[in-house]
Amino acid sequence: MSSRQTYDFVIAANRLPVDRHVHPDGSTEWRTAPGGLVTAMDSVMRGWDGDDAAWVGWPGFSGEAPEPFDEGKLRLHPVPLSAQELSDYYEGFSNDTLWPLYHDVIVPPTFHRSWWTCYRAVNQRFADAVCEVAAEGATVWVHDYQLQLVPALVRDKRPDVRIGWFNHIPFPPVELFAQLPWRESILRGLLGADFLGFQRPDDARNFARSCRTVLGATARGEKVEWQGTDDDRLGAAPRTVRAAAVPISIDAAGFRELADSDAVRERAEEIRESLGNPEVVLLGVDRLDYTKGIRHRLRAIGELFDDGAISPDQVTFIQVATPSRERVQAYRTLREQIEGTVGRINGDVSHLGATAIHYLHQSYPREEMAALYRVADVMLITPLRDGMNLVAKEYVTARHDGKGALVLSEFTGAAEEMPQAYRCNPHDIAGLKETILRAINDEPAEKERRMRALRRRVRKHDVQTWAADFLAGLEAAPERPSRSGAKAQA
Ligand code: ADP
Ligand code: G6P
């Protein structure tokens, strides 16, 4: 156990990197938490060569939180959520208000004042926990849409610390953001940071434009200047904040090594054999989320089977649909729709020994994910909107044999960095079908050329580069208030 009470580097994210699961017999187990945020930050912290650091986050279940504990050089500092807070702050405001609003309102966002009240209260709790563990002058790195008030709440209590915030999801255009009844408070909460990182330049520009339109702030290039108000603790003092794109990535070297291990190679062969050695394996890997375009993908695949353009004797599609946010209605509806469609397609076109679609609603160890990528001749990534999509980067890294093909939606952050993918617009089902067929049938040399360029990009811009760029941006941020100076302004 670490004897230190405060830390020079503090991460705050809604989730800790591990979730506690309770088995039916009452025994408990800590498992890696789901999603790209944890994948990325976990890799960053595993390679961390600085002093001990703390990670403040929710341990994945409601009720009393466990005592802080250590994982390597990382002190995990659990923040409790009651069952009501889980429902109002996490499932409600975070995932039924902000998530759909920030993803192009693919489903309509729900606005409830009681959810907002709870979001504020929980953000205050996270901010208090950060202030408790941050040493004098510490660097605090806040993550994602669940904690947008934390930067200003921390700054109010601890003007000595340096605060960065990174948005793992898109930031919407002001025309959508303006729907949010609490838009001003959210922006003021974020402007408590010194540096704000976004996935794409467009996200940073959307944020700056929202500050201009909603708050009347001055935004020039990456700089936002805001005079502040004194009606609450969210952004009372004048501030200059930099908002810039810092696209996230994966631990390319680590993932390549994993994908290249004997165990993963053998497992990949086993998987292919268990599928009956099809000529072509198509793969989709997504949290079961309406942003991921799984329904559009299934529509295209179903039609290709129906048209006879592909046959289950030669082609099989594996869809891994990771369980996610299962108590939110939009996610339940999506699951019913997807499972209905998979059943319909399999019923219509599969026959004994030739299954059109293998549907897997489960989480897997990383080795199994790497083996699945190695098996996939074509990876189908068709989100309607996605901040980045790390699966795309994992796939090209795992296929360092030069084989494989990546079909990638133009509505992902990854598409900006990966122009050599087979680009698609998932709303255009005819176009998507053509793109899938092209990715299957193109000459091996053409596929190899594309994959080589994609792999090179991910290797050069890996998660370590991302973290270094973010922290350099934070270090170089325009304003570093002295403890007394900032207090005087507030
Ligand atoms: P998101 O953050 O929206 O879930 P990303 O593609 O950015 O999407 O990141 C997803 C991460 O979760 C990847 O690292 C991927 O390997 C991992 N993942 C997705 N599905 C599973 C699964 N069923 N089992 C284990 N890991 C998964
Ligand atoms: C996305 C979000 C993360 C979130 C993850 C999993 O990657 O950006 O903040 O943790 O999805 O979602 P969950 O709701 O299970 O935490």
pLDDT single digits (tens) 24-56: 898 989 999 999 999 999 999 988 888 889 999
Q: From the CB of residue 388, how many other CB atoms can be counted at a distance below 10 Å?
A: 25
CA of 41 to the centre of ligand 1 (A): 13
Classify 7-248+466-475 by CATH class.
Answer: alpha beta
CA of 418 to the centre of ligand 2 (A): 23
Q: Under CATH, what is the fold of the domain 252-460? A: Rossmann fold (3.40.50)
- 322: CB partners within 8 A, 6+ apart: 34, 285, 286, 287, 288, 361, 362, 363
Q: Which of the ligands is closest to the CA of residue 57?
A: 2
Q: From the CB of residue 262, how many other CB atoms can be counted at a distance below 10 Å?
A: 7
State the average pLDDT over residues 139-152: 98
CA of 83 to the centre of ligand 1 (A): 26
Residue 485, pLDDT score = 38
Sign of CA dihedral 1, 466, 409, 104: positive
The Cα 282–Cα 319 span in angstroms is: 8
Residue 488, pLDDT score = 30
Residue 489, pLDDT score = 33
Top mutation candidate among 42, 369, 412 for ligand 1, by most atoms within 8 Å of CB: 369
State the average pLDDT over residues 175-190: 97
pLDDT surpassing 90 at residue 480:
no
The pTM (predicted TM-score) of the whole model is 0.96
Question: Which of 219, 215, 227, 168 has its CA nearest to residue 40?
Answer: 168
Domain ranges within the chain, ordered by starting residue? 7-248+466-475, 252-460
State the average pLDDT over residues 62-88: 95
Average pLDDT, the chain: 94
The Cα 391–Cα 208 span in angstroms is: 29
- Enumerate long-range contacts of 230-233, CB under 8 Å, 24 or more apart: 232/185, 233/152, 233/153, 233/156
pLDDT surpassing 90 at residue 484:
no
- Residues 103-125 pLDDT 10s: 999 999 999 999 999 999 999 99
Question: Which of 46, 251, 220, 35 has its CA nearest to residue 144?
Answer: 35
Residue 24, pLDDT score = 86
Q: Within 13 Å of residue 431, how many CA atoms lie on the same side as its CB? A: 12
State the average pLDDT over residues 194-215: 98
Which pLDDT band, with edges at 50, 70 and 90, does 482 fall under?
very low
Residues with CB under 6 A from ligand 2: 14-15, 34-37, 95, 144, 168-169, 324-325
pLDDT surpassing 90 at residue 173:
yes
Task: Give the rounded percent of residues in the chain with a pLDDT score beyond 70.
Answer: 96
- 205: CB partners within 8 A, 6+ apart: none
